[in-house]
Amino acid sequence: MDSGRAGAIGLHALMTPGGSVGGGEDLRRRALASIRTSAPFAYCDACLALRLGSSLAEMAAALAGEAEAVLARTRRACYGCGRTVELSALSEEPPR
Ligand SMILES: [Zn+2]
């Protein structure tokens, strides 16, 4: 029961082999994977939620917090529904 509030869970989430699977963490991972896969196209929260079988509220929560480190909220057209809305897209990753 540690899926509620987590400050620094980066490593912990990566290292936990499915023990106590918090839906939030799993959803966030799947959402990020989906966003990466579909780049350069982007989907709005609602379309992401539909594609991943979650509720819009769950998706919004998954895209907040830690995910914001790699995501940028930007206003652009959703590739799924065609609306121009504020959605989460990958922020530009600086070259190493
Ligand atoms: Zn959409």
Q: Is residue 74 part of a domain?
A: yes
pLDDT digits (tens, 9 = 90+) for 35-57: 999 999 999 999 999 999 999 99
Q: Is residue 95 part of a domain?
A: no
- Domain with 82, as residue range(s), is 23-90
Domain total in the chain:
1
Q: Is residue 13 part of a domain?
A: no
Say what the pLDDT of residue 15 is: 47
Distance 20 CA to ligand 1 centre (A): 31
Residue 88: which H helix or E strand, with range? strand 84-90
Distances (CA, A) of 48 to 23, 38, 53: 15, 11, 8
Q: Is residue 34 part of a domain?
A: yes
Distance 47 CA to ligand 1 centre (A): 4
| Other CB atoms within 10 A of residue 61 CB | 16
Distance 87 CA to ligand 1 centre (A): 9
Q: Is residue 11 part of a domain?
A: no
Residue 49: which H helix or E strand, with range? helix 45-52
Distance 3 CA to ligand 1 centre (A): 27
Distance 79 CA to ligand 1 centre (A): 6
One-letter amino acid of 47:
C
Residue numbers in the chain where pLDDT is lower than 50: 3, 6-21
Say what the pLDDT of residue 27 is: 95
Q: Is residue 81 part of a domain?
A: yes
